[in-house]
Amino acid sequence: MTLTPRMSFTSDHLIDQIIEGRKTASAEWVHRQGEIDEWDSAIQVGTVYTVCDSHRVPRCTIRVTSIRLCQWRSIPEWLWRGETNDTPEEFQADHIDYFENPGNDFEFIGYEFELVGVLSPVAYKQANGSGSPPGASASEDSKSSGVGQFFAMQSLYYGNTLY
């Protein structure tokens, strides 16, 4: 069985922003693009990724819609707004440590994405062993059984989304 590509972020708070519909872009080192490990796949336009939190629990799926080469001296508006910042300077302040104090000529990859879906409490429970994801009611969790659990697990493996 082939797993869908996965992606993680430096903070679970960023995943919450994606689920809330506020975060629609991110940034990555040029030289790290294409590095693949057990939990992070190479970023490709048109690909749907399962986004996992810091506990490796699948939280949502996103589809990458564009990838662009960016420069530190000129942060594009689509990127700083998509990163939930109010100005390019705020983006730089938020990313200066991540990019290890870059100079004006520093280049990095910016990419945009769209939220495809939020994984259901059933999928969360199957991946996590028990419980509901943050924000889910106990009644949602108790409704899940049988066929619903089967389809929830398929969402983890095949990239289908459940709401």
Question: Does the pLDDT value for residue 152 go beyond 60?
Answer: no
Residue spans per domain, the chain = 6-117, 119-163
How far is the first Cα of the chain from the last one, in angstroms, to the nearest whole number?
23
**pTM score over 0.85:** no
What is the spatial distance between Cα 160 and Cα 117, in angstroms, rounded to a whole number? 8
Q: What DSSP designation does 156 have?
A: H
Q: What is the pLDDT of residues 65-122, one digit of tens each?
A: 999 999 999 999 999 999 999 999 999 999 999 999 999 999 999 999 999 999 975 6
Average pLDDT, the chain: 79
- Return the SS3 of 3: coil
Tell me the mean pLDDT in the region 46-75: 96
> Pick the residue with more confidence: 39 or 156?
39
What is the spatial distance between Cα 66 and Cα 72, in angstroms, rounded to a whole number? 18
Helices marked H in the chain — which ranges? 12-19, 77-82, 88-95, 121-128, 138-142, 147-158
Classify domain 6-117 by CATH number.
Answer: 3.10.400.10
pLDDT at 158: 36
Share of the chain above pLDDT 70, in %: 70
Q: What DSSP designation does 110 have?
A: E
